[in-house]
Amino acid sequence: MKALVIHGRQDLRAQEWPTPEPGEGEVRVRIAWGGICGSDLHYYHDGANGAFVVREPLIPGHELSGTVEFDPAGGFAPGTPVTFHPATFGECRPGLEGLPHLWPQGAYLGSASTTPHTQGGMSEYLVVRRDMLRRLPEGLPLRRAALAEPLAVALHGINVAGGVEGKRVLVCGAGPIGLLSAAAALVRGAKEVSVTDVVEGPLARARELGVQHTIRIGEQTPEAEAFDVALECSGVPASIDTAIRAVRRAGVIAQIGMMGAGPQPLELATLISKEIQLRGCFRFNQEVDEAIELLARDERFDRVITHAMAADEAVEAFAVAKDAQASGKVLIELWPQS
């Protein structure tokens, strides 16, 4: 089969790869669409995602959709449209019984956190455990279904924040996760949603989603103590400080954006004096199921997708995805089915 393979920093190749054979409890899927995530960008542009270094050829991709090609057990008929929960959960620990996404020793599709690396799905075929598959409802296009994983990340952040219904919400950062967080907050019944970013392109996309207020940092500042909840999606310390100043006393900040390792400079004195709760968010639990339901009934999520490119244009696609002014979510069509 064909696959997109990262061999190191800015070394991405379309090449032949062994076609995987499903074992017991596994299903082979023909992949239709793969979204470029922030971790994929780091693996390609930097050769590493934080501490996870590409040490062997890595197929990226965990934002996926496709159709079942072969299920040895017959549970999924050939051609069944599916998306994925990309996690393989690790070992349960006391206090984490209901939080499998936090269990240590887990794995994730398209990740160099394990050795051997956990191969992703930017390829013609992918074999996964049956319980990782999610059948798509009738009428949900495969193209939009590739948003299920990042939308689940956004929904998990909203859940960690305690929900947004009837609340004034600030979304910090209008990249793909920020846009999906803003759209999800609107669908989940937020009273008002405002979005910040440092460039105009992402803010224009936020307005297309129906966001009431956009704020370009450097030219404007969010009103102090004007928000009940902040969904911080950039992982930039200055943006977190903006959220600390903008949420009300006893407000909540859900930290969805991943930060680099090591110490970070933050306005903790203000956070303490306002009794703000800063809550970490990591991937998601089972929110992918709600994400699929939302995608099936609300076409607005299509507006998050700005580029859909062919697998043979993958290097260009990764360059476009790095340009926040020009792109929202960039999808790659993985060798269309005949």
Using one digit for the tens of pLDDT, what is the confidence trace for 21-48?
999 999 999 999 999 999 999 999 999 9
Q: Are 225 and 304 in a shared domain?
A: no
pLDDT of residue 336: 76
Q: Are 310 and 268 in a shared domain?
A: no
Distance CA 173, CA 91 (A): 33
What is the DSSP secondary structure assignment for residue 226, as one 8-state letter? Answer: -
What is the percent of the chain where pLDDT is above 70?
99
What CATH number corresponds to the domain at position 260? 3.40.50.720
Q: Are 179 and 217 in a shared domain?
A: yes
Q: Is residue 185 part of a domain?
A: yes
Q: Is residue 46 part of a domain?
A: yes
On average, the pLDDT of the chain sits at 96
What is the DSSP secondary structure assignment for residue 106, as one 8-state letter? Answer: -
pLDDT band at residue 50 using 50, 70 and 90 as cut-offs: confident
For the segment 120-146, the average pLDDT, to the nearest whole number, is 98
Q: Are 22 and 134 in a shared domain?
A: yes
| pLDDT of 57 strictly over 60 | yes
What CATH number corresponds to the domain at position 114? 3.90.180.10
Q: Are 87 and 26 in a shared domain?
A: yes
Q: Are 120 and 40 in a shared domain?
A: yes
| pLDDT of 88 strictly over 70 | yes
Q: Are 31 and 68 in a shared domain?
A: yes
Give yes or no for a contact between 215 and 230, defined as CB atoms under 8 angstroms apart: no
Please compute Rg for the chain using Cα positions.
20
Q: Are 142 and 261 in a shared domain?
A: no
For the segment 141-169, the average pLDDT, to the nearest whole number, is 98
Q: Are 139 and 271 in a shared domain?
A: no
Residue closest to 324 by CA, chosen among 155, 173, 149, 172: 173
Enclosing domain of residue 238: 154-280
Q: Is residue 93 part of a domain?
A: yes
What is the percent of the chain where pLDDT is above 90?
96
For the segment 55-72, the average pLDDT, to the nearest whole number, is 98
Token output for 110: 């398209």
Q: Are 275 and 316 in a shared domain?
A: no
Torsion angle (degrees, nearest 10) of CA 78, 84, 89, 95 = -130
Q: Cα 329 vs. chain centroid, distance in angstroms?
A: 10
For the segment 195-218, the average pLDDT, to the nearest whole number, is 97
Q: Is residue 317 part of a domain?
A: yes
pLDDT of residue 184: 98
Q: Are 231 and 204 in a shared domain?
A: yes
| pLDDT of 192 strictly over 80 | yes
Q: Is residue 291 part of a domain?
A: no
Q: Is residue 124 part of a domain?
A: yes
pTM beyond 0.95: the answer is yes
User: How many domains would you assign to the chain?
Assistant: 2
For the segment 161-172, the average pLDDT, to the nearest whole number, is 98
Q: Are 140 and 171 in a shared domain?
A: no
Q: Is residue 128 part of a domain?
A: yes
Distance CA 21, CA 27 (A): 9
pLDDT of residue 228: 98
Give 261-317 pLDDT, tens digit per residue: 789 999 999 999 999 999 999 999 999 999 999 999 999 999 999 999 999 999 999
Q: Is residue 227 part of a domain?
A: yes
| pLDDT of 113 strictly over 80 | yes
